[in-house]
């Protein structure tokens, strides 16, 4: 887990970046109704969690650099024995200070009386404008209250700055504690994928395999980091397939894209394997092309390389493989220049990973792809998708969708693959399934 000292370092670093004349305001995620009086499972806002580790709703963090009475202030729910009997423990103001390292804490009901005074005298407000329109209006109401007292000497802020400009660049670089949590998340997801490989067989339904994934997640105290994709046969060609309700057929492949979230940190793994335990020659030929592309891409996840470098490595490898197999014709150079591979491979090879599956952080700086640096974590996920109705392709290849995805840390040396606990070599997958 991440201790309170690390959260404190994050807050201090953000305040140094914001400056002594600024205020930073970060609300917790709101609870959301699913239907009538039943809620969706609560998940804390990632930025709020990054700065506090505080898991309750109805809370607001205010960072006020240089404030003599305390720079780190949390507004949160009071202890309430009756409500806690219904909804569970609350930290309260004492817990916010003692357990979460806040300088001070106030009841959330008092925020209208206190926060305008914290805004007054600050030149800049850092906040996620446009993310929560209701809270936007509340914040502007506090600012307007300060403005209404200008004749009495009040000094309202004159600049409003998107918080993401500062905070999301901090989140891009993972600490050792964060990488440990992400490794744990990837280990749980890897175990789930292995369980699914052992369980899958012709005649099962996709949702039965999904249940095997969910069993492993919950056994280890994790939840899905996104809605799992469990696509048999041609369903594997649908990039965001979510129905998970078809019968698995003998001779088809099964594509599973599923990650775990542990202590709010995500993993993101994809494997593609034969339902009956044996790849057909056509499936194996395409699978080996994708695997070779993934290995080439992972080798480019190194400090000093462009974020785009590993995508380009995957594209070159995929294109060369498709030419060799006869699904593309012409030279490698002409195929790359004309992007002919996009017929079979239409997405990028990866994204940032962290508290969010598609984690925050700019991919370009001053118009150029940013360089990879130690502590960044990316997914590497090339694929090939040949839909059942694709023309100009031999029938034996149609309806095959393959993706292989791992989670990779940029280190000072070789790439660190967090998700190596689930096999991806075709022979190893077949051996695993045979042993089941």
* Nearest-angstrom CA–CA distance, 306 and 312: 10
Q: Which of 339, 358, 364, 396 is catalytic?
A: 358
Q: Which of 34, 89, 158, 240 is catalytic?
A: 240
Contacts of 370 by beta carbon, 8 Å cutoff, 6+ apart:
306, 307, 362, 363, 364
The 3-state DSSP class for residue 252 equals coil
Contacts of 201 by beta carbon, 8 Å cutoff, 6+ apart:
248, 275, 276
How many CB atoms are located within 10 Å of the residue 162 CB?
A: 14
Q: Which of 206, 403, 407, 430 is catalytic?
A: 403
The 3-state DSSP class for residue 367 equals coil
- Whether 240 is catalytic is yes
The torsion of the CA quartet 32, 206, 182, 372, rounded to 10 degrees, works out to: -100
- Whether 220 is catalytic is no
Q: Which of 210, 257, 406, 430 is catalytic?
A: 257
- Whether 12 is catalytic is no
The pair of structure tokens assigned to 132 is: 């929560």
* Nearest-angstrom CA–CA distance, 196 and 193: 5
The pair of structure tokens assigned to 64 is: 């006020």
Q: Which of 147, 278, 340, 347 is catalytic?
A: 347
- Whether 79 is catalytic is no
* Nearest-angstrom CA–CA distance, 93 and 332: 64
- Whether 389 is catalytic is no
- Whether 385 is catalytic is yes
Q: Which of 212, 351, 356, 407 is catalytic?
A: 351
Closest CA to 267 of 425, 424, 422: 422
* Nearest-angstrom CA–CA distance, 217 and 213: 6
- Whether 268 is catalytic is yes
- Whether 250 is catalytic is no
Q: Which of 120, 268, 407, 430 is catalytic?
A: 268
Q: Which of 11, 191, 385, 430 is catalytic?
A: 385
The 3-state DSSP class for residue 279 equals coil
Q: Which of 120, 405, 407, 430 is catalytic?
A: 405
- Whether 104 is catalytic is no
The residues that are catalytic are: 37, 240, 257, 268, 347, 351, 358, 381, 385, 403, 405
């Amino acid at each position: 887990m991440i201790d309170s000292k690390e959260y404190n370092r994050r807050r201090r670093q953000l305040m140094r970046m914001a400056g002594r004349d600024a205020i930073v305001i970060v609300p917790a995620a709101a609870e959301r109704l699913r239907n009538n009086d039943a809620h969706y499972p609560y998940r804390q806002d990632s930025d709020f969690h990054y700065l506090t580790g505080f898991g309750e709703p109805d809370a607001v963090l205010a960072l006020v650099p240089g404030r003599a009475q305390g720079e780190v202030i949390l507004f949160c729910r009071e202890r309430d024995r009756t409500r806690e009997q219904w909804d569970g423990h609350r930290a309260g103001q004492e817990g916010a200070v003692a357990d979460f390292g806040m300088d001070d804490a106030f009841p959330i009901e008092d925020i209208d009386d206190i926060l305008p005074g914290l805004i007054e005298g600050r030149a800049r407000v850092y906040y996620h404008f446009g993310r929560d329109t209701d809270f936007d209006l509340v914040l502007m109401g506090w600012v307007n209250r300060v403005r209404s007292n200008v004749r009495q000497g009040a000094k309202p802020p004159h600049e409003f700055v998107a918080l993401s400009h500062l905070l999301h660049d901090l989140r891009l670089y993972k600490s050792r504690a964060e990488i440990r949590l992400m490794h744990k998340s990837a280990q749980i997801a890897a175990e789930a994928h292995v369980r699914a490989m052992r369980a899958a067989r012709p005649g099962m339904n996709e949702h039965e395999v999904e249940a095997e994934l969910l069993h492993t997640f919950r056994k280890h105290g994790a939840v899905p980091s996104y809605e799992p994709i469990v696509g048999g046969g041609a369903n594997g060609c649908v990039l965001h397939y979510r129905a998970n309700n078809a019968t698995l057929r003998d001779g088809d492949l099964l594509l599973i894209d599923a990650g775990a979230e542990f202590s709010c940190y995500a993993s993101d793994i994809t494997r593609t394997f034969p339902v009956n335990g044996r790849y057909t020659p056509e499936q194996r030929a395409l699978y080996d092309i994708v695997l070779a592309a993934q290995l080439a891409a992972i080798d480019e996840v190194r400090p000093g390389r462009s974020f785009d470098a590993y995508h380009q490595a995957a594209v070159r490898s995929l294109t060369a493989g498709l030419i060799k197999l006869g699904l593309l014709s012409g030279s490698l150079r002409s195929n790359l220049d004309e992007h002919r591979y996009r017929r079979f491979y239409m997405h990028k090879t990866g994204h940032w990973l962290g508290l969010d599956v598609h984690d925050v952080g700019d991919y370009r700086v001053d118009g150029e792809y940013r360089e990879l640096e130690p502590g960044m974590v990316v997914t590497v996920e090339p694929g090939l998708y040949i839909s059942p109705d694709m023309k100009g392709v031999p029938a034996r290849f149609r309806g095959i969708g393959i993706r292989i995805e791992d989670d990779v840390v940029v280190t000072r040396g070789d790439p660190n693959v967090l998700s190596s606990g689930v096999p991806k070599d075709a022979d190893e997958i077949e051996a695993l399934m045979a042993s089941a």
